[in-house]
Structures are given as structure tokens and as C-alpha cells.
Amino acid sequence: MSHPVDLDELDAALRRYGSHAFLMTTSDDLRPHISHVTVELAGGMLTCGAGRKTGANASVRPMVSLLWPAPEEGEFSLIVDGDATLDGDVLRVTPTGAIRHRPASDPDCTVDCEPLTHD
């Protein structure tokens, strides 16, 4: 089950989910490459460090995704898609969309799942 996240709410979301996320890029052979990164949000842009492989992938295929796992069992994960640019060893991601997601088969999941801003 997915719920869209207004990009203006990312700051509040990151206070809940924290600064550690998984960054997904795509390798030359089109396989996913996943890195564990520390993310900062400033001026609507997400930034994180980028290793050699991550930076090379994002330079050629700039559409990336960031995933914050659910803080607690049964809660939502946060997924942010964006367009990346590499500046040295820093990756700058301009968010293009975001959702909160958990498995639809979750027994606690109902039509009225809690909104992003609900604590």
C-alpha cells in the first residue's frame, strides 16, 4: 500500500526517518547498485556522499531512488525518487516524487492508513 508524499513535507519526514538511507543507482549492466548513505536536506535538495561506483552510475543514469526503511515493524518505509548530479564526491538529488509504502498484505493496513504528518 502506497501513499504519495508532498515534497514540501520531506523535511518533516526526514526528522521521523533519520539521515541514513539506501541509495539505489543503476549499473552499466542495468543491475541495481545499493549504497548505505547519510542524507542531508537543504533548499529542497537531498545530498549525500558518493563512492566511485555510485558516482559513475549516477553520472550516466541520473534517475535514482532513496529508501528509508520503516522505523518500526508495521510502519511505512519512505521512498524518494529524484534526479541526481555529481559534484566531486557529493551526490545532489532533486526529488521528483515520494511515497510512504508498506506491504498491502500487512494485517494492520487498512484503507485509512495514517498520513505522513501523523505522529
In SS3 terms, 4-44 reads as: ECCHHHHHHHHHHHCCEEEEEEECCCCCEEEEEEECEEECC
Does residue 117 contact residue 13 with C-beta atoms inside 8 Å? no
The answer as to whether 114 is a domain residue is no
The answer as to whether 112 is a domain residue is no
Q: What is the pLDDT of residue 85?
A: 97
Lowest-pLDDT range of 45-54, 84-93, 108-117: 108-117
The answer as to whether 34 is a domain residue is yes
Does residue 23 contact residue 63 with C-beta atoms inside 8 Å? no
The answer as to whether 109 is a domain residue is no
Q: Is the pLDDT reported for residue 119 higher than 50?
A: no
Specify the number of domains making up the chain.
1
The answer as to whether 118 is a domain residue is no
The answer as to whether 22 is a domain residue is yes
R_g of the chain, CA atoms, integer Å? 15
Kindly report, residue by residue over 2-11, the tens digit of the pLDDT: 677 788 889 9
- Domain at 60, CATH number: 2.30.110.10
Q: What is the pLDDT of residue 73?
A: 82
Kindly report, residue by residue over 42-55, the tens digit of the pLDDT: 999 999 999 999 99
The answer as to whether 93 is a domain residue is yes
Residues spanned by the domain of 90: 2-101
Residue 50: which of 42, 41, 39, 80 has the closest Cα? 39
The answer as to whether 56 is a domain residue is yes
Q: Is the pLDDT reported for residue 101 higher than 70?
A: yes
Q: How confident is the model at residue 92 (pLDDT cuts 50, 70, 90)?
A: very high
